[in-house]
Amino acid sequence: MTPSSSNPRQRIVRWFGLLLLIGMGACPPWKMTYRTDDETVSSSLGYHPIWNPPSEIYEVPEDATESRHQVNLFQVGIQFAVVLILINLGNYAFRTHPT
């Protein structure tokens, strides 16, 4: 089935999925990682816009090194995969049968 032969329900599923993907990319989950002694600690900082990362208000121990804020790429990847699977399931569920 080509995109031009998709029905209105499939187009709605695709557009809704695309908007979800854009929204997830615009406000991803963040995490903070730092090292103490020989241990690497990672904690979630929640969702923040990509243009406004979490502030430095999160405290780390005084002996911490290599402290940084970064996007939690593993979680973003899982989210994107789930939405892509749902888009495909929606397209499959709303497919038209040839007559």
CA distance 96 to 92: 9
Residue 5 sits in the same domain as residue 19: yes
Nearest partner of 28 among 58, 43, 49, judged by Cα: 49
* DSSP characters over 31-49: EEEEEETTEEEEEEEEE--
Which pLDDT tens digits describe the chain residue by residue (99 residues)?
A: 455 578 899 999 999 999 999 999 999 999 988 887 778 888 888 899 999 988 766 676 676 677 778 899 999 999 999 999 999 999 999 888 766
Residue 35 sits in the same domain as residue 67: yes
Residue 41 is part of which domain span? Answer: 29-71
Residue 63 sits in the same domain as residue 81: no
Contacts of 40 (CB under 8 A, 6+ apart): 33, 34
* Count of the separate structural domains present in the chain: 2
Contacts of 5 (CB under 8 A, 6+ apart): 96
